[in-house]
Amino acid sequence: MTAAIIDGKAVAARTNEETAQAVAEFTDRTGTRPGLATILVGDDAASAVYVESKRRTSVRLGMADFHRHLPSTASRDDVARLLDELASDDAVSGILLQLPLPESLDTTGLVDLIPPSKDVDGLTTASAGLLARGLPGLRPCTPLGAVELLDSSEVTLSGSRVVVVGRSELVGRPLAQLLLQRDATVTTAHSRTQDLPAVTRDADVLVVAAGVPGLIGAEHVKKGAVVIDVGIHRTETGLAGDVRFDEVVGVASAITPVPGGVGPMTIAMLMRNTLTAAIMVSEPQQ
């Protein structure tokens, strides 16, 4: 058996098309575009590339682009003032504070200045609380993207055994919550887990977000399982994930490649969140 390849690029492109269409409808209806404010503090090259890519996509989908760049010497107050300004600007539907911030800044405190209604990255304490309680709110983009890929492949989540490897604040923990709300039986494994292969072999659906290159091999995967690889690492032979693709492709029934799997979904979900944020604000006024 060779696993079906879950084409994240194609799913992301389809999702973005749907978002663009909904943005056009929103703009026709309200006379305003959904607006995404991106904030870059300092000059980290990778962060600049990510922000650029998000801005370009948002404009392509018809949104308004509000970009702010602060120097690496910006104080906490500088960032806080900017966040407050964007929070009270009705033209800004979503605020994305690109991480990591320079180390001198209080990341948690600053992120929490983003109002939950504009928290399109889903990273604030308020958004985490809404997710934990199963209340409506904006969810983190990468976990949303992983679930969307499973849905696009018509994978049954209700009643299935899902193992999430990794318990990061950005991916593993919110993803476990999303999957639980989809009625999966969810196990979270991590660096302290004993006998990881025994744990992961229970999985009908295995989602790997451990941040460890090549952690998961054929011995970790039940025959016919669906494998989603959230990891992405630069290696000597190119980009690679947390999953040894060449091995696991012979055991799984479906698998995401790296690159071209979860990666493209993250921006697509950010775009959808920005549209959702705009709609949430506009609807009570109709």
Q: Residue numbers of the site for a second copy (CB under 8 A)?
A: 108, 124-135, 158-161, 167, 169, 173-174, 176-177, 180, 183, 185-190, 192-194, 199, 202
Q: How far, in Å, CA of 262 to CA of 253, rounded?
A: 17
Give min distance, CB of 231 to a second copy, in A: 19
Q: How far, in Å, CA of 149 to CA of 2, rounded?
A: 19
Does residue 56 have a known ligand-binding role? no
Give min distance, CB of 202 to a second copy, in A: 7
Widest pairwise Cα distance in the chain: 57
**Rounded to 10 degrees, what is the CA torsion of 95, 231, 56, 17?**
-100
Closer residue to a second copy in complex, CB, 44/202 = 202
Q: How far, in Å, CA of 199 to CA of 221, rounded?
A: 10
Give min distance, CB of 111 to a second copy, in A: 10
Does residue 216 have a known ligand-binding role? no
> Alpha-carbon Rg of the chain, whole angstroms?
19
Tell me which H or E stretch contains 64. strand 64-70
CB atoms within 10 A of CB 83: 22
Closest CA to 230 of 189, 266, 201: 266
Give min distance, CB of 204 to a second copy, in A: 9
In the annotation, is 112 catalytic?
no
Closer residue to a second copy in complex, CB, 129/250 = 129
In the annotation, is 223 catalytic?
no
Closer residue to a second copy in complex, CB, 70/280 = 280
Q: Which of 112, 121, 204, 242 is catalytic?
A: 121
Closer residue to a second copy in complex, CB, 11/95 = 95
Q: Residue positions in the annotated binding site for NADP(+)?
A: 166-168, 232
Q: Which residues are tagged catalytic?
A: 54, 98, 121
